[in-house]
Chains A and B, each alone.
Chain A
Amino acid sequence: MVKIHERKFVSSDPDKCVGCQVCEYICSLTKDKAFNPLKSRIRVVRINQLVNLAVTCRLCEDPPCVAACPRDALTQSEETGLINVDEDKCNGCGWCIEACDYGAIMLHPENKVVYVCDLCKDQGEPQCVKWCPEEALDLVTSDVLAQKARITAVKKLFQQAVKEASKSS
């Protein structure tokens, strides 16, 4: 089993995300062959114009969506951490939707079963990451996420010094 430390998921950088929804269009095109953000497995949230962030499945350890499913339709891949939906078992009851803290699992508007990010396993790489025009999306482990956050925090703390360093280089 892949340890949680090595598990990769799609993360959005709030400093870079501009809320353009390109990820939503690309996701629905990849999975449903149509432009329709309602069928996207990644969703953009914009709050008060200034806060923009794309949100999708974080491949949690002991995922609450799996635990919540009364029909055992959801399972987590031991190998990748991905949430698998058994579409024959799922009846769209929505317990998993309620259980997810991120709103990352949703009821499909037409198929009446839930759907969730699978990192585009058929395409080999997440298409939203590939297409994001702002390079705000990344496929990362939580460790890399922490590294990035630390670097950003330090850069902010030493803004002036970083500016001067980049000028002289």
Chain B
Amino acid sequence: MYGYAGRVLHIDLTTGKTNVEPLNEEYAKKYIGGIGLGMRLWLDYSKPGVEPFSPENPLIVATGPISGTVWPTGGNGHAFVSKSPQSYGVGESKAHGSFGTELKRAGYDAVIFKGKAEKPVYVWIDDDSVQLLDASHLMGKSPADTEDAIREELGDYYIRVAAIGLAGEKLSRIACIINDKTRAAGRTGLGAVMGSKNLKAIAVRGTRDIVVAKPDEFMEYVKEFHERMKGPATQKYRTLGTPENVLVHNALNCMPTRNYNNASFEGAEKVSGENLNERFVAKIIGCSSCAMRCEHMCVVAEGPYKNTMTRMEYETLWALGPYCGVDRLDAIIKGMELSNYYGIDAISAGVIAGFAMDCYEKGILTQKELDGIDARFGNHEAMVQLVEKIGKREGIGDILAEGAKNAGEKIGRGAEKLAQHIKGVEVTGYDLRCLKTAALGFAVSFRGADHNRHGAYAFDVKGKVNRLVAEKGRGKMVRGMEDSYTLIDSFIVCKFSRGTYYKELDDMAKLYSLVTGFEMTPDELKLAGERINNVGRLFNIREGLGRKDDTLPYKVMHLPIPDEGPSKGAYVTQAELDLLLDDYYEARGWTKEGVPTVEKLKELGMDDLIYIVEKKTDAEE
């Protein structure tokens, strides 16, 4: 096979046995790779209703057909897929850097971990040799320190490592998996699934050649995309980076502030992307094979947070900053560094810190219950302390590490209404009260609250629709974006490069064909995007999720935006949400309960998964 390695590695952590199976070529063509292939494989290797922390819950890491080539942004991604300990449905998260490219060169399209090691181990994949090695001396280490330690002890400084930190070891439901020191497969708590298997790290060294089907035409195409990457489509990422959003969102009053108590932040100027770049960005670096480079490395050189260094993006900046009312960039950078150190998703960590502050200000949690932390909104020291507590699962952090939803329920006294999440996954930096296309995208996202499953906020933020209105037609728009985003995550290319695919499906189909040698038409690819969204939905349905879970956080539906300005008074009513959901399910060809019909699955060539919907659709009729 070209592009694909053609092999899937199975590792049973209980027995230590490994075996390699050929990649199912039909799956490759139908589900492409990355999250598509990962979700499809997960359904094959798991039983319905499996507990996320059970040894029987497979943890899958998949590359895509483009991984390992020089394709700009496409060579370097990998995706983790498992059942999420947050949503109890699809857990999936991608990361870039250089781990995915190494895994492909080791000769694998996917690795499937099952079972649970008796003692902490790390797996050492050295091309065909796969070993489980003792990790007891690595316990408690940060992912970055784990990476360094493994390279040192194996004596090879080009080994790539994806590891969990203390949070993953302690089964924090917001734990992530970090590679290349600062690149996180952040969302949906997959670091805890890895921890539940006593698997501290995955170390890879791959030496095989990656060859594409049509090298000359491929290189011509690479050249063209190198040019496109220098153009306007990627300018934002190459210059200010995603933190540019701070002032944009603030001006539209669509930046959730102080745990959704406001939609704009008076301290926005202080934490703007402009300010960040001027004062803290020391270097912009790139992932393997990228011709765009976007990773803004920030360094704090003075003050109480001196000698802090981390990557920074809008979402994490927003969560640790405005969402906690914090207007100090140095503290935000510290919060981010701590999140990476303990291995927690910094978006969720910030949202949970904001939640705890809201509980404190409303008198639900006392200072004593918060281990003495004066958790006022805007107290940067409190934010940093809370992140640290969450990372260590220490004191109040033990409850908060369970995620906003669980923490809210455990604390009670109304705290559950302050927990802003969808399907147990904490919200991200778009105020859904005044971005109603985005609200639909968030509600139906198969991995819970997230902007990266659909990017539907673009219609609202760019003024292509009236963002304050819920109306028919939004379902089709969300559907289209979702189908394109699942392809991006299955190929895997970087979302920051999405604008360079001028003729989206045509370009992507051409790329796929040149790399793999499998002729793929734009129409077939479109169908693949739809198929992958359906497999995500089927995953969730098999695990018991449905229309009732396609909902919005409490405040989005009950607390109108109080801020003076363009979004004042906006929120989403149940009737509006129902209208949006009905419209979306119809656009998808699903039932009113959001279940794919047998006809739809046949149309998509998914006959082998009809068993999941048969009973459901019968019951509805």
Contacts and interface: CB of A to CB of B under 8 A. Distances in A.
The answer on A and B forming one complex is yes
Interface string B283-325: 1111111111101010100000000010100000000000000
Contact of B286 (A18, A25, A33): A18
A21 interface: yes
A48 B181 CA distance: 9
A46 B285 contact: yes
A35 B285 contact: no
A101 interface: no
B290 A34 contact: no
A53 to B, nearest CB: 12
A18 B282 CA distance: 12
B105 A29 contact: no
A36 B105 contact: yes
Interface residues of A, number: 25
A70 interface: no
Contacts of A133: 72, 226, 229-230, 290-293
A28 B69 CA distance: 11
A56 interface: no
Contacts of B282: 50
Contacts of A52: 283, 285
A25 B70 contact: yes
Interface in A24-79: 25-26, 28-29, 32-36, 38-39, 46, 48-50, 52
Nearest to A28: B209
Interface residues of B, number: 37
Contact of A20 (B68, B212, B287): B287
Given A36-B209, A133-B226, A49 B309 contact: yes
A136 to B, nearest CB: 11
Nearest to A19: B285
Contacts of A46: 285
Contacts of B210: 34-36
A50 B299 contact: yes
Interface string B266-285: 00000000000000001111
Contacts of A39: 209
A89 B434 CA distance: 73
Nearest to B299: A50
A34 B70 CA distance: 10
Contacts of A124: none
A133 B231 CA distance: 12
B566 interface: no
A25 B75 contact: yes
Contacts of A49: 181-182, 283, 285, 295, 297, 309, 311
Contact of A25 (B69, B182, B208, B211): B69
25 contacts: A18-B284, A18-B286, A18-B293, A19-B285, A19-B286, A20-B289, A20-B291, A22-B291, A25-B289, A29-B70, A34-B210, A35-B69, A49-B181, A49-B285, A49-B295, A49-B309, A50-B283, A50-B285, A50-B299, A52-B285, A109-B207, A133-B72, A133-B226, A133-B290, A133-B292
Given A18-B293, A33-B215, A50-B282, 14 more contacts: A18-B285, A18-B290, A20-B285, A20-B293, A21-B289, A22-B70, A22-B290, A26-B70, A35-B209, A36-B208, A36-B209, A38-B207, A109-B207, A133-B293
